[in-house]
Amino acid sequence: MSLEEEIYRLYQLEKLGSDEEHNLKWLPDNPNRAFLICLGAGPWKRLRRVTVQAAAMEWYEERWSDLSAIPKYGNWKPFPLDWQNLYLRNMIMALSEQKVTFSFKCTQWAFHTRKWREQLLEFFKMCGVGYEGRKCLWLFTRDFLGLPSFPIDRHVERALAEVGLPKKDVWYIIELCHKAGMDPSALNRSLFLSKAENYDWSDNATTVREDGE
């Protein structure tokens, strides 16, 4: 497939997205809380997701002001799934090794947008994942760090299949968007709005918790 045909298919993909305005600030401004919410965006329906997210934030906020303050060798498991706790523990270990706070790292990543590839890869590495990342981590880079991102869930995967673009290669789609002069994050969010019932994988857990009180 030529580059011209790939870009044509990308424009066809854009047509599948929503024209609605969407709020890019669904995550809280605090990077620690935003990260925990994204980790809590597990494979559950809405009510289960927000319950998991709210529990993790309450566990965190009762004790610490930054992820770097959490004891790296503690026997804590704020999330129900092993991979969620592992990513959090890996991040805490990495912050300890670098002797920095998570808030500082997020400011550093978001500021150096010209080096967005390096920033993404360092973030993934500190979470203990490789080049491919993970959906919940791509969500954090898309909506909190503001780095070029294209998280793929089953809804976006279905849209990619409709136009004949690769289903799993996030980096390929990002690069293709840049060649076409398109914002991959904006395109991705428009597809979520169009295809998914809960396009953010969750709601802001704090809002849901307050509404339920």
What's the pLDDT band for 206 if we cut at 50, 70, 90? very low
On the question of pLDDT at 213 being above 50, the answer is: no
- Render pLDDT for 115-133 as a digit per residue (tens, 0 to 9): 899 999 999 999 999 999 9
Return d(Cα 148, Cα 194) in angstroms, integer. 20
What's the pLDDT band for 196 if we cut at 50, 70, 90? low
Return d(Cα 204, Cα 34) in angstroms, integer. 9
> Please, what sign has the CA dihedral across residues 206, 34, 24, 8?
negative
Note the pTM of the prediction, 2 decimals.
0.88
* pLDDT score, position 209: 44
- Render pLDDT for 130-177 as a digit per residue (tens, 0 to 9): 999 999 999 999 999 999 999 988 888 888 999 998 777 899 999 999
On the question of pLDDT at 102 being above 70, the answer is: yes
Q: Where are the domains of the chain?
A: 3-16+26-203
Average pLDDT rounded to a whole number, residues 192-201: 62
162: Cβ–Cβ under 8 A, 6 or more apart, which residues?
13, 16
Average pLDDT rounded to a whole number, residues 86-112: 95
Q: Which of 150, 98, 153, 89 is nearest to 122 (CA)?
A: 98
* pLDDT score, position 44: 82
